[in-house]
Amino acid sequence: MDYIKKARKNYNIYFVHTDNFKTINVSFIFQRPITRLDKLYQTLLRKMLYLKTAKYGSLEELTRAAANIYNPVTVFSTKTSSQYRTFTLQAEFANEKYTEKGMNKKNLEFIMDYFWHPAVTNNSFDEKLFAICQKNYIEELKSLKNYPDTYSLDECWRLLDLYDFEMPSSEELIEELKKITPQMLYDYYKSMFTEDSLDIFVFGNTSDDITDIIDNYIYGDFAPSIITSPKRFAEVRAVKEKREKSDNPQSKLHVCYKVLNPTSYEEKYISLIFSMVLGGGTESYLHQEAREKQSLCYYIYATSYNLFNVILISSGIDKRHTDKVLTIIKEEVKKIQNGILDEKRVKEVIKTYENVLLESRDSQESLVNSLVSEVMRNADDMETKFQVIKNITCQDIIDFAKKIKLDTIYLLEGR
Amino acid sequence: MEKKKFAGLDLEIYEHTLDNGLKIYVCPMDRYKIDARITVNVGGELEKFKNGEEVTVPFGIAHFLEHKMFSKADGTDISSIYEKNGAFGNAYTDDYSTVYHFNSPVNFWDNLTALFRCVNEPYFTDENVEKEIGIIEQELMALLSDPDALAYFKAKYNSYHNSVYKYPVIGTEDSIKAITKEALYMVYNSFYVPSNMHLVVTGKVNPEEVIKFAEEYYKDKKFNKVGKKVIPDEPSAVCVKEEVIHKNINNKICFVNYKVDISKFSLSNFELQRYLNILLLSKFSSLSGFNDVVLKNENILSPIDWRLDVKGKFANFNFTAEVIDEKVAINLLEKQFNNLKIDDEILDLIKKNWINGYILTTDKVIPTSTLINEMLIKYNEIIYEAIPIIKSLNKEKANEIFSKLDFSERAVAIVQK
């Protein structure tokens, strides 16, 4: 992808001119090495920043101001990428060519205000607003068990032991959350200006002068940018198993495999192709066997988390079928490890992936994600991806399958 | 073939109706992805219909039919054609319609052939129907595990006396088990008829070639008359005013449905629904200050989500939240309903919001296709003048409509420990 990189003293701006879209898309990505409570602080911060700014003192005022400039879609998101934690402010708004002259600048400033000019009094976040967000987050954590898909996935993810620290449970997070004060959250927020790196991505049908608006508006002594590399495992451990009971009518089964000593090529390409062959879509081996042939579940799918070198298989089942589905998963993996792999199926999956790459050119958000992966995660560019996937062979997938080891089985057992 | 333009947006649509009644809408867009969808006008609302004699079928049959239309007599599964072509293909059923769709940047004609086969070649056997029952039961179980869905289903069930809208589109455990291949063929033969369907294609395609393809496909094919759905009379009152469902959850979930008769208004459906949405946005969104009040309330543990769901002659105003005391939340809603007047300022903000929404939507293939298809399902036509109509909405008309709405009928469902 052609882009202009503007390296500033403390941050980078990547600008892509494209006349394919009616909108302008801008992303501010903050990144830092992960610690045990980052998720807690970042989620709380995200909730606070949405509700008011220094300029607009209530949600009503903020929403009305947004509507007045044709409602930019502004989203804060947080995510773990390998051993790093990212905090992203992403926004999309109609290009002023379709609304009113001057709206691009107004939108950009409005969006940046969320992070750069939050509501602060006496060097701390507003106490009342903080109490609301803290309560709201505690209730959200308490309700987690109500939602079996999310809860079971979180629990399974904790069992994987992916970090140098133990991931806190929702009960532990609630206890930690109760200890946080508005001052502590404000200190965390301030630390982002020195401890996080900042990379900014701007896409749209406009001149690259638009980045001047950003340069003139933001401040911060950000850390140097980091290129994230995947978490790697060198040893097998004993399989961790956990079964929990619930009163839901359906059981949720998650089975995780870790990839031992993969090559960079396997991490970038084969992990994804393997998971699609095994459990991506209705023609996948798992779907065909567990749902179509044996009617054991409504859904079963495999996902590759290549930044963690984890392959996750998830299924919603009747509890009577747990052992049968587990056996199918192990057998289907074993078959590939033993070289039983249909070349036609592999070609279909490669074609699907090619189509995904092709279609990503239709979406500004996909193009942004692709460029983010390229510059922050060391992913290959689009053209390289097209070239590489053409040459993937069955043997590549079989070799990769031999490197995956069963690591974790989690069952949230229904009634 | 007629070329029409969406006012205020760089978007053109070619409309054409085949001799057999199939309506075709093609929206060329300079994108890699092409989206195609065939909509059959039959959905969860089907229970009784006439095609000669009056027939009663189990609830959830339209959704069941959707699942079974992918299997063909020669052993082909339509999904496998899409997958082999690297396309994404699927289907869904709502109260009014069943939509079959695919999208892909390549192999368009092969995929389109598969889409036409999908809706035109039924193949039901005792064995394949029996097998599907287990799969659909698990789909229902997944839905019933979600306490929000549970609260919604119960409020919906309690809102209606006779209408099939009482039931989930997927059906109930008993009704799913009662479905047979004979019932499936009966529904198929009565509703999967070109004059009861439409095709929408969005992306880089030549409209004439799409029309030619459809004409060729249907050449020499004969179809039955479309069945006539029997819609039972439904009183304005809700069936059960309040019900508590027990489930092992942490926070109580409260779902409120206000059932409002809107048959007395003579506006177009599009305009009327815009005004009803203005009511919700002006009184219950963050634009109104309502969310600031909710946030500060100790008895309400989450934002109050809302949506408008029009079913026949009733508008259902749905509200849901996690609460400590549901009475506090309901009182807040009632307070808003008691003061429905709006001013020009908020109306202008809502209009700007919607115009921006259209601009964002029509930048992408799938949202554009969805926009066109939803207009066809909801209003039976594409509203090309949507933006001028939105600009013309005014506070006098809004206040007149709001003053005539009766919010006295509500069904409340509570899910708690």
| Pick from A22, A63, A295: CB nearest B131 | A295
Asked whether the beta carbons of residue A146 and residue B250 sit closer than 8 angstroms, the reply is: yes
Query: What's the token pair of residue A305?
Result: 């988390």
Residue A97 confidence (pLDDT): 87
Residue A99 pLDDT class (50, 70, 90 cuts) = confident
Could you list the beta-strand ranges (E) of A246-384: 251-259, 297-305, 310-317
Query: What's the token pair of residue A384?
Result: 């390289």
Residue A106 confidence (pLDDT): 96
> Is the per-residue pLDDT at A316 higher than 90?
yes
How far is the CA of A412 from the CAs of A238, A405, A415, in angstroms?
21, 22, 10
| ipTM of the prediction greater than 0.85, yes or no | no
The strand order across the sheet containing B12-17 reads: B2-5, B12-17, B23-28, B197-203, B34-40, B98-104, B88-93
Helix or strand run (H / E) with residue B82: helix B78-84
Asked whether the beta carbons of residue A59 and residue B30 sit closer than 8 angstroms, the reply is: no
Query: DSSP letters of B334-379?
Result: HHHHT-----HHHHHHHHHHHHHHHHHHTTSHHHHHHHHHHHHHHH
The neighbouring-strand residues paired with B180 are none
Residue B119 contacts residue B69 (beta carbons within 8 Å): yes
Residue A64 confidence (pLDDT): 94
Q: State pLDDT tens for residues B194-222.
A: 999 999 999 999 999 999 999 999 998 99
Residue B291 confidence (pLDDT): 93
Catalytic residue among B2, B53, B54, B66: B66
Mean per-residue pLDDT, A365-384: 94
Instruction: Give B 206-245 residues with CB within 8 A of chain A.
Output: none
| Pick from A22, A250, A353: CB nearest B138 | A250
- Tell me which of A200 and B359 has the higher pLDDT: A200
Residue A415 confidence (pLDDT): 84
Asked whether the beta carbons of residue B322 and residue A143 sit closer than 8 angstroms, the reply is: yes
Distance from CA of A227 to the nearest CA of B (A): 31
B260 vs B145: CA distance, rounded Å? 29
| Pick from A22, A139, A140: CB nearest B363 | A22
Nearest to A333 by CA among A294, A275, A254, A389: A275
Q: Does residue B144 belong to the interface with chain A, where contact is any CB pair within 8 Å?
A: yes
B259 vs A222: CA distance, rounded Å? 54
Instruction: Give B 247-266 residues with CB within 8 A of chain A.
Output: 247-251, 253
Could you list the beta-strand ranges (E) of B105-223: 197-203
- Domains in chain A (CATH in brackets) are 4-217 (3.30.830.10), 240-413 (3.30.830.10)
Angle at B35 between CA B31 and CA B36, to 5 degrees: 145
| Pick from A21, A60, A145: CB nearest B250 | A145
Residue B372 confidence (pLDDT): 98
B369 vs B202: CA distance, rounded Å? 6
Q: Which residue of A has its CA nearest to B287?
A: A60
Asked whether the beta carbons of residue A355 and residue B80 sit closer than 8 angstroms, the reply is: no
Q: Does residue A298 belong to the interface with chain B, where contact is any CB pair within 8 Å?
A: yes
| Pick from B77, B134, B287: CB nearest A295 | B134
Asked whether the beta carbons of residue B141 and residue A59 sit closer than 8 angstroms, the reply is: no
Chain-wide mean pLDDT for chain B? 95
Mean per-residue pLDDT, A72-79: 95
Which residues contact residue A178 at a Cβ distance below 8 angstroms, ignoring those fewer than 6 apart? Answer: A134, A138
Which residues contact residue B182 at a Cβ distance below 8 angstroms, ignoring those fewer than 6 apart? Answer: none
Asked whether the beta carbons of residue A358 and residue B138 sit closer than 8 angstroms, the reply is: no
Asked whether the beta carbons of residue A71 and residue B86 sit closer than 8 angstroms, the reply is: no
B170 vs B153: CA distance, rounded Å? 11
A214 vs A104: CA distance, rounded Å? 11
Please report residues of B whose CB lies closer than 8 A to that of A352: 83, 86-87
The answer to whether residue B66 is catalytic is: yes
Chosen from B140, B298, B356 to mutate, greatest number of chain A CBs within 10 A = B356
A131 vs A380: CA distance, rounded Å? 44
Spans in chain B with pLDDT lower than 70: none
Query: DSSP letters of B236-268?
Result: SS-S-SEEEEE-S-SSEEEEEEEEEE-TT--S-
Q: Does residue A358 belong to the interface with chain B, where contact is any CB pair within 8 Å?
A: yes
Q: State pLDDT tens for residues B370-407.
A: 999 999 999 999 999 999 999 999 999 999 999 999 99
Query: What's the token pair of residue A182?
Result: 């508005």
Residue B138 confidence (pLDDT): 85
Asked whether the beta carbons of residue B138 and residue A317 sit closer than 8 angstroms, the reply is: yes
Residue A373 confidence (pLDDT): 94
Asked whether the beta carbons of residue B359 and residue A23 sit closer than 8 angstroms, the reply is: yes
Residue A23 contacts residue A92 (beta carbons within 8 Å): yes
A303 vs A272: CA distance, rounded Å? 8
- Domains in chain B (CATH in brackets) are 2-230 (3.30.830.10), 242-416 (3.30.830.10)
Residue A281 confidence (pLDDT): 87
